Structure 1
Amino acid sequence: MISTAQRRAIVHHLIRSCILACFGVFIIYLVRTGSLLQYVEPALSLYVKLSAMGLFATAIYQLHSAWDNWRGVDAAACDCNHDPSSSTIANVFYYGLFLLPLALGFLM
């Protein structure tokens, strides 16, 4: 049986994974449409393209963490995880800080 704390952790990991994957997809979209150079310096475009791979790798790690929590594996055994805030308003604010630029990027 999954506890409430585990459910909360799973949801947070899934939200983080989606946000990271969306940033990676946005970078790929900018590269495919040829509009990446409107956002970054041409000399930095290679690094931005490489960062998309890092974003996807981190998104996969977040999915793995959600999977571990769902299976009941204690992923916090190394004490290296950061527990999300218990306040819903704070979580909406923090995730909104990342979702707003994504939404603006996809809508523009």
Structure 2
Amino acid sequence: MITLSTKQRRNIVHHLIRCGILGAFGLYIVYLARTGTLVLFVEPNLAVPVKLSAIGLFATAIYQFQSAVQEWQGIEAAACDCNHEPPRSLLANLVVYTLFLLPLAIGIIF
């Protein structure tokens, strides 16, 4: 049985939340493209780059999921030390994630 520290559990949760948000944005772009409503949100000349950005969002979501799995397995992060620690405050985390979830929720609801 793997015992995880509180810091590892926090990091896993943050990686999974980021994975979900990035994947949801990618799926939303794909949905808009499939329904033909993407041009209501972006300039028609930019529709192709926005569609391609969904691939980047999916790739980044996969990376975040991989980071969560590696953290769960206890594998050390890359030597670049380029990860940013999330804020310790629950309120700060809610504000940051709400800034990303609010536009997504508004787009899905309306």
Quickly name the TM-score band, shorter chain normalised: over 0.9
Counterpart in the other structure of 2:99: 97
* In structure 1, C-alpha distance between the alignment counterparts of 2:12 and 2:77, rounded to whole Å: 12
Structure 2: where are the runs of 5+ without partners? Answer: none
Q: Runs of at least 4 residues of structure 1 off by over 2 A? A: none
Structure having the larger proportion of residues in helix = 1
1:78 offset after TM fit, Å?
2.3
In structure 2, which of residues 78, 81, 99 is the aligned counterpart of residue 79 of structure 1? Answer: 81
Counterpart in the other structure of 2:65: 63
Counterpart in the other structure of 1:107: 109
Question: One-letter code of the match for 1:34?
Answer: G
* In structure 2, C-alpha distance between the alignment counterparts of 1:52 and 1:95, rounded to whole Å: 19
* In structure 1, C-alpha distance between the alignment counterparts of 2:78 and 2:53, rounded to whole Å: 27
1:85 offset after TM fit, Å?
0.2
Share of identical aligned residues, percent? Answer: 61
* In structure 2, C-alpha distance between the alignment counterparts of 1:12 and 1:6, rounded to whole Å: 10
RMSD, aligned CA: 0.7
1:102 offset after TM fit, Å?
0.4
Pairs aligned (count): 108
Calculate the TM-score normalised by the size of structure 2. 0.96
Calculate the TM-score normalised by the size of structure 1. 0.98
Q: How does 1:10-29 map to 2 (within 5 A)?
A: 10-29=12-31
